[in-house]
Every structure is written in structure tokens, then in C-alpha cells.
Chain A
Amino acid sequence: MMDELRELYQEVILDHGKNPRNFRHPDDANREAKGENPMCGDRFMVYLKLKDGVVEDVAFQGRGCAISTASASMMTEVVKGKTEAEAKALFETFHDLCTKDDHDHGDHGPVDEDAMERLMVLSGVRQFPVRVKCATLAWHAMNAAIEGEDKASSE
């Protein structure tokens, strides 16, 4: 199997893709937003429980490819417990990770470095431009939910 594929589909991604974490609809969610990729049919709902500016719970449901499912799953793990500002900084930094070379990454304020290190496994999508939307789909929905929108705006 080619190295590029191994880099894209790392074990962690295959694991999250098959057994997504926080794959549920929390009863006490007070925000939700849809993320949809009309190209491939991936469709996620991201649910947030926001209290006093903190993401107390975050979960998702829907269907998608291994990359989008793994990315959604990992998103729920790293965003939980963050303030709105921290979650948005993670979104922006992660977006750069998927789309830009290292030296072009912007400064999006203080960001959880440990979380970013875990998310590094998804940076393989940079070599597969058509898959970037897969990796960022649930993140856009999460960001939209924080903004109070009901769906992620299409890029």
C-alpha cells in the first residue's frame, strides 16, 4: 500500500472512523447545526450543550466517509470543555492544518497544543485536496452551532 495512503488513513483515523466517539444525540443539547457535503452525500448533525460560554457537551450523528467520521469524532473529544473562544481557535487552527503549509498558518489566539498534536494525524488530507472538505465538515458545523446558525455555510 502506498505511503501517501497510509499517511491519510492512519490507524487512529481508521479506528475513529469505525468506532466514532460521542456518536449520539444528547437530550440536553441546546445548539445544533447540520454539515453537508452535496458532492459525496456526507451529512452530519453536530450537537452542543453550551453553558456560560463553555462547551459542556458535544456529540454528532450522521453518515460519512472514514475521514469525515474520524474528524468529527476527534473534534468532539478535543472541543469538549473548551470555551467558545477556545473552540473557535481550534477550528481555525485545524482548518489551516488541513489546507495550508506550515509556514502559512495564521495566529488564531491561544490554542490547545495537545489537542492540535492529536489532530496532526488528519493533516494527510493536504495531499488530497478533494478530501479536505471531508476532514473539515463537522468542524464547520460545530463552528456554525457556536455562532447560532443551524447549518454550516458551504465554502
Chain B
Amino acid sequence: MDTQITLPTFDVERVRADFPILSRTVHERKGKPGKPLVYLDSAASAQKPRQVIDAMTRFLEEDYSNIHRGVHFLSQTATDQFEEARRKVARFLNAPSERNIVFTRSATEAVNLVAHSYGRTFLSEGDEIIVSVMEHHANIVPWQLLQMDKGIRIRVVPVDEHGVLDLNAYEDLLSDRTKLVAMTHCSNVLGTVTPAKLIARMAHERGVPVLFDGSQAAVHGVVDVQDIDADFYIMTGHKLYGPTGTGVLYGKYDLLKKMPPYQGGGDMIESVSFEGTTFKAPPARFEAGTPAITEVIGLGVALDYMESLGREAIAAHEHDLLQYATQQLSQIDGLRVYGTAPGKGPIISFTLEGVHPHDLGTIVDQYGVAVRVGRHCAEPLMERFGVGATARASFALYNTRAEADALVESVIAVKEFFGA
């Protein structure tokens, strides 16, 4: 059989032209030209394509109004566009229906929603939640608040020295006391992609629901919540080339249906009286108050943008950058990369012997190179690897090999500066 898979060609220069901010320079000083921006901090927040910026501007200039409320023309127009964005998110995750998609303000709020609504209703003293040592604080602290409230226990799955999740330990931790697994789908520090489908299957064998924090994973690969069989899946718009103020909670409908409201207010009720108030069905039940209307519509356009480039093509491009940058960085004496799991996402955390990451970050910034330094909201993981902090370069669909070279050159300059 003559089957050949050809990926759509990925023209990164054309992609870059879509992102106005990428043509700017930084650190201009009296008479001295600035340095071209080399933005390698997309894992913290991604830049926005003109398509998203223009769509939000157009909506604000032509169609803006509150949603789900008015009988007037604009309200209907705005509602239609907002709900269209919900359908786009559902398609992006291959959710069975847009009813499965709850909009929140952030991924953090989505985790808090589940901890508060599902956690406080269905978990009680002695019950256990399993997380991994790789979690972002957003997938640790909400469970700790629940712990303080309900006396539950948090169990932690370790990783090996490459940053690979210890599945044997996970299996051992699963027990009759386990009531929820809350796990990252891709580490924001190590880039490790966890075997979500297997994690879910192992939990489901014990009847335990699973929540995945897909804040990074949804950016770098194709996510199919039905294939994974995720009970909850969370992502955040601003890392998906969309605006801030947009988080997404996917939930299986039978779970969402039995969960009480998270916040009370307008738009989530059927009727309100002082004798008793009844709530709307999900997802509206979890969307109290006026949402980030313009931003959610912008998120829908951001997802369209990713689909137009091809998500496999994006992943292939980013994987090439990851491999190239890792190879180039590894040639620097004294440089150590944290996170070498096979199939990892395009995130490189590293340290340079004799130089604190904070100093490294300040110096490469003078060369126009934007990286994140610090603990990356993942303090337990830093402790696991015995480092106070790391530098992190993260690659996105608009980065180039030349930018990886610029990173390497600036790190070499740091090394020379400190005589390390």
C-alpha cells in the first residue's frame, strides 16, 4: 500500500508576520538601537496573533453587548458569538458537546471550581487525592484548601531523574481511599507529557475520576478528551495564543450535572426567590456573573488560528526546535537540563554551573532573550531536583532555530561574564 503522510508545510516566517509584537526590539537606549525580541517565555504566556487582536477589536467596535440577557439585536449577536466560541473549544478538545465546556477566568479558577464544587460535595475525611510532584501550584493549593476544610489526604506520585512519572508508585497509591486523581498532562517545568490515557484507565478501574491540567499539553499537541477518557480537563486561553481572563473546564456531563454551583450570581439561576433559588443546568450553572465576553470570543479565534496552521504541524515544528535547542545548549560546559523524558513538550529548564538563574535571566535579557527564571510555581518539583531555581526557555509555534541560536549565544556570554 502506498500511503504517505505529508504534514502541511510550516512557514514560520509567515506565521511570525501574524504576531505584531515579534517585530519589536527591546532595550533601546539613547542613540543605541534595541535588540530584536527573542521571546522564549510562551509557557508563561503566549503572544497573540493579529487575527485574535483584530477579532476582539472588531467585536468591541461593532457587536459588543452583554450576553444571555437582552432581547435586543446586539445582545443576540454577542450571545451567538460567545456560544460559537464554546462550540470551537468543544471541537478543539473533541468534547462530545459544547454542554461539556465551562468558561472560567483561568485554569487556576477551573481547578478551584472542581475542588470547591466536586471536592466539597463528594470527598470527606480520610479520602485521598493523588497528584504528581510535577504539579503547578494551581493544581496543589486548591486541594490543600480542601484538605484544611475536609481532612482529606494528598498523595504524591514521584518522578525519576529524567522527569518520567513513576507509574508503579501511582499504581501503589491507588486504593479504596482514592477519590480523585488530579494530574498534569504536561509539566510546565520539565516538559514531561504524562500518559493520560493510561493514568485515566488505571483510575477508572477503581472507579476514580481523573482531572488533567492541560495548561501546557493543549498548546503543544492534539488533545482528545474522549480518547483519554478524562473526567475533567483544564486549559487556559492565554497560553493558547488567546487573551487572558479565559480558562476552560471540560467535564463529563453526568459529573457536571451532579455538582452544585461554585459561585452564585446572575446567569446561573433559573429563578430566584427568598424561599429558594433554582439553578440552571451546566455549563451555565458554573458561570455566575458576566463572563469575559470579548476575550472568550478572542479565544475561539485563537483556536481557529491554531487549527488553520494544523496542530500536528505546530507540534512537529516545536519538536524540531526542542531537539535543536537541547542539542545546542547541551554543548555548553556546565549546563544541565532538567527534564529529559521521551516525547516531552518544547520546554527546556536548565541551570548553568556557577551562575544563579536569576543573574542569567537578567543578562540574557540584555541580549533581547526573554526566558523565565525562578521556581515556575512548582516548588515541590524544584525540591525534588535539589535546585532553588532554574532558567526555562519555552518554544512556541512562532519561534525559530535562529532564536535558539540567540539563546545559546547569550548563555555563552553569561558564562564568559561570570568566568564560570
Q: Which of A's residues lie within 8 Å of B, judged by CB?
A: 1-2, 4-5, 8-9, 14, 38-43, 63-69, 128, 130-131, 134
Chain A, residue nearest B354 (CB): A18
Residue B389 is within 8 A (CB to CB) of chain A in the complex: yes
Residue B359 is within 8 A (CB to CB) of chain A in the complex: yes
Interface residues of B in 379-420 (CB under 8 A from A): 379, 382, 388-389, 413, 417-418
Q: Which of B's residues lie within 8 Å of A, judged by CB?
A: 29, 355-359, 362-363, 366, 373-375, 379, 382, 388-389, 413, 417-418
Contacts of B357 in A (CB 8 A): 40, 65
Interface of chain B, main secondary structure? helix
Contacts of B418 in A (CB 8 A): 14, 66
* From B29, B358, B379, B417, contact of A5 by CB (8 A): B417
Chain A min CB distance to B329 (Å): 20
Q: Are A65 and B417 in contact (CB under 8 A)?
A: no
20 contacts between A and B (CB under 8 A): A1-B413, A4-B29, A5-B363, A9-B417, A14-B418, A40-B357, A40-B388, A41-B374, A41-B382, A41-B388, A42-B389, A43-B388, A64-B388, A66-B355, A66-B356, A67-B359, A68-B358, A131-B358, A131-B362, A134-B358
**A41-B417 in contact given A65-B359, A66-B356, A128-B362 (Cβ < 8 Å):** no
Q: Are A39 and B417 in contact (CB under 8 A)?
A: no
Contacts of A38 in B (CB 8 A): 375
Chain B min CB distance to A149 (Å): 23
Contacts of A42 in B (CB 8 A): 358, 388-389
Interface of chain A, main secondary structure? mixed
Q: Are A39 and B366 in contact (CB under 8 A)?
A: no
Chain B, residue nearest A131 (CB): B362
CA distance A32 to B359 in the complex (A): 27
Chain A, residue nearest B387 (CB): A41
Indicate the member of A4, A65, A67 with the most B CB atoms within 10 Å.
A65
Q: Are A65 and B374 in contact (CB under 8 A)?
A: no
Contacts of A1 in B (CB 8 A): 413, 417
Chain A min CB distance to B359 (Å): 5
Indicate the member of B358, B373, B379, B417 with the most A CB atoms within 10 Å.
B358
Sample of 8 more A-B contacts, CB < 8 Å, known A64-B388, A66-B355: A5-B363, A5-B417, A9-B363, A39-B374, A41-B375, A43-B388, A69-B356, A131-B358
CA distance A50 to B358 in the complex (A): 33
Q: Are B362 and A40 in contact (CB under 8 A)?
A: no
CA distance A64 to B374 in the complex (A): 11
Q: Are A66 and B413 in contact (CB under 8 A)?
A: no
Q: Are A63 and B388 in contact (CB under 8 A)?
A: yes
CA distance A1 to B358 in the complex (A): 18
Chain A, residue nearest B360 (CB): A65
CA distance A14 to B418 in the complex (A): 8
Chain A, residue nearest B376 (CB): A41
Chain A min CB distance to B377 (Å): 10
